[in-house]
């Protein structure tokens, strides 16, 4: 399973998110106010808008376009208009860095 180092040096403040493209996959990395890290698909399942432009509230993220809300732990929809969950990815913390693992079958060939 490919693993990618993101947020080197602890550049992601608590309560914020950032977009990263890892193995051709757009990923939204979130650091909650409780200092937990989550990684989910950066694309809202409703309109494919970047979730990293949205708002983090606890362990949920709200899409900036239509207000769909997703659970960062499971990817499940918490509030409409989205009806399909989003992908979640494993995150481990190594010092100040977040390591995101993407399943081999999810990685896109970018060559």
Instruction: Supply the range of the domain harboring residue 55.
Output: 3-103
**Tens digit of pLDDT for each residue in 1-42?**
899 998 776 789 999 999 999 999 999 999 999 999 999 999
Q: Which of 3-17, 56-70, 85-99 has the lowest mean pLDDT?
A: 3-17
Domain count, the chain: 1
> Would the CA dihedral through 10, 62, 66, 70 be positive or negative?
positive
Whether a cis peptide bond, with omega within 30° of 0, leads into 81 is: yes
The domain spanning residue 68 has which CATH number? 2.102.10.10
Look up the pTM and report it: 0.91
Mean pLDDT of 80-106: 90
How many degrees, rounded to 5, is the angle at CA 96 between CA 38 and CA 36? 30
Establish if 111 belongs to a structural domain.
no
């Amino acid at each position: 399973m490919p693993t990618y180092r993101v947020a080197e040096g602890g550049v992601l403040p608590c309560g914020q998110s950032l977009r990263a493209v890892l193995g051709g996959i757009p990923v939204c990395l979130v650091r909650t106010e409780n200092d937990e890290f989550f990684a989910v698909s950066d694309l809202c399942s409703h309109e494919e808008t970047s979730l990293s432009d949205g708002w983090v509230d606890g362990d949920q993220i709200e899409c900036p376009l239509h207000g769909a809300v997703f659970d960062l732990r499971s990817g499940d929809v918490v509030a409409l208009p989205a009806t399909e969950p989003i992908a979640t990815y494993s995150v481990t913390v190594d010092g100040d860095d977040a390591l995101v693992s993407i399943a081999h079958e999810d990685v896109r060939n970018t060559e």
